[in-house]
Amino acid sequence: MSFYIGNIEVKNKIILAPMAGVSNSPFRILARKYGAGLVYAEMVSDKGLLHSNEKTLKLLYMTDVEKPMAQQIFGSDKDTMVEAALYIDKHSNCDIIDINMGCPVPKVAIKAQAGASLLKDPDKIYDIVSEIVKHVTKPVTIKIRAGWDDNSKNAVEVAQKAEAAGAKAIAVHGRTRSQGYSGFADLEIIKAVKEAVKIPVIGNGDVTDGPSAKRMLEYTGCDAVMIGRGALGNPWVFREIDAYLKDGTMVDKPSNEEIKEMMILHLDALIELKGEKIACLEMRGHGPWYLKGIAHAKELRYKLSRTQTRDEFVEHINEFFK
């Protein structure tokens, strides 16, 4: 089940995606605890690092429990991307440096001309990756999309350029930038990328359980699957996929008691890292994700969206789950 990204061993084929506001240290710890073989940190701005932006630097926090871990950076200027990668190489405890070339949100892909915007210029991708590889000691990887839109699905060309530049792995989200998160991921493009390069390829998009993970692995031949939205409020998904890939076991879904305990555990971990105020604000997002599919939880979701303290949060969920 294991594979290597450069000299870093990843012991299974299940990876946590980098998600802004989600893939922080507490959530990465949960993902590793429940079976993720590798976790990605949320992306940080190259310029934020170079200007020592306090918020950006805080995003670099990690613990040894999370390793192996990839730290993702984004930007569009080769020189500042190299400087940011050097900073990560020297000051971060991560194992892998990943370059975001797939983020579809307008403030990144359009305003900053970073993320998925880089897909428009494969030669620029080659230049950025090759220059970073020359200057850092850690393996360099990239995360891309199928292309900018349906008329420019160039993931294969981009992957070949990145491999030639020295990238050690490529994660491919099977949607285009114009799709955002709508429609379905294109497994054909992931398969084509895998057939076109020799380095590991990580498939991303629509993996939410054991069967969907197995389908992507078998159809595309990719080396691993990356789980993003399927992990929201559901760190157990890594355990479920791991069991299914090993022998077809269908693990029971978590009980309501497990969900309640996990919500409190997650909140407490966020409080320890960020303080009660910010932790409660972040759990306004995580809370509804944990409650997805649970009957009669509408009122609880409403209450959690206004919760300001740990005591309030715990009181609301204890009352609901009693």
Question: For residue range 298-315, what is the model confidence (pLDDT) as tens digits?
Answer: 999 999 999 999 999 999
Query: Which tens digits make up the pLDDT trace of 69-103?
Result: 999 999 999 999 999 999 999 999 999 999 999 88
Last residue of a domain, one of 247, 266, 285: 247
Total domains in the chain come to 2
CATH code of the domain containing 35: 3.20.20.70
Q: Which residues are identified as catalytic?
A: 103
Whether residue 190 sits in one domain with residue 264: no
Element holding 144 (H helix, E strand)? strand 140-145
Local structure of 113: helix, strand or coil: coil
Whether residue 203 sits in one domain with residue 60: yes
| Gap between the Cα atoms of 235 and 14, Å rounded | 12
Q: How many CA atoms, within 13 angstroms, populate the side-chain half-sphere of residue 32?
A: 21
Confidence class of residue 281 from pLDDT cuts 50, 70 and 90? Answer: very high
Mean pLDDT for the chain overall: 95
C-alpha to C-alpha distances, 77 to 42, 125, 128, nearest whole angstrom: 20, 10, 8
Confidence class of residue 106 from pLDDT cuts 50, 70 and 90? Answer: confident
pLDDT of residue 109 exceeding 80, the answer is: no
Whether residue 291 sits in one domain with residue 153: no
Provide DSSP, 246-311. Answer: HH---PPPPPHHHHHHHHHHHHHHHHHHH-HHHHHHHHHHHHHHHTTT-TT-HHHHHHHTT--SHH
DSSP state, residue 108: I
Both structure tokens of 254: 């978590």
> Which comes out higher in pLDDT, residue 126 or 113?
126
Whether residue 233 sits in one domain with residue 98: yes
Q: Within a 10 A sphere around the Cβ of 19, how many other Cβ atoms?
A: 18
Whether residue 243 sits in one domain with residue 202: yes
Q: What is the pLDDT of residue 322?
A: 85
Which residues, in sequence order, are CB contacts of 19 under 8 Å at separation 6+? Answer: 42, 228, 229, 232
Q: Which of 226, 219, 169, 225 is nearest to 197 (CA)?
A: 169
CATH code of the domain containing 305: 1.10.1200.80
Last residue of a domain, one of 221, 247, 273: 247
Do residues 218 and 170 touch, judged by C-beta distance below 8 A? no
Whether residue 260 sits in one domain with residue 235: no
Both structure tokens of 312: 């309030």
Local structure of 120: helix, strand or coil: helix
Q: What is the pLDDT of residue 115?
A: 86
Whether residue 242 sits in one domain with residue 151: yes
Whether residue 106 sits in one domain with residue 239: yes
Whether residue 26 sits in one domain with residue 97: yes
Task: Give the pairing of strands 44-45 and 8-10.
Answer: unpaired
Tokens 């940080």 appear where?
Answer: 44
C-alpha to C-alpha distances, 72 to 112, 229, 238, 318, 321, nearest whole angstrom: 16, 17, 21, 37, 38
Both structure tokens of 159: 């992957």
| Gap between the Cα atoms of 293 and 237, Å rounded | 15
* Structural domain of 112: 3-247
Last residue of a domain, one of 247, 273, 302: 247
Whether residue 242 sits in one domain with residue 260: no
Whether residue 102 sits in one domain with residue 150: yes
| Gap between the Cα atoms of 263 and 94, Å rounded | 27
> Which comes out higher in pLDDT, residue 102 or 14?
14
Q: Within a 10 A sphere around the Cβ of 187, how many other Cβ atoms?
A: 17
Give the dihedral of Cα atoms 273, 278, 280, 284; nearest 10 deg: -120
Whether residue 260 sits in one domain with residue 129: no
Q: What is the pTM of this model?
A: 0.94
The helices-and-strands tally (H runs, E runs) of the chain is: 14, 11
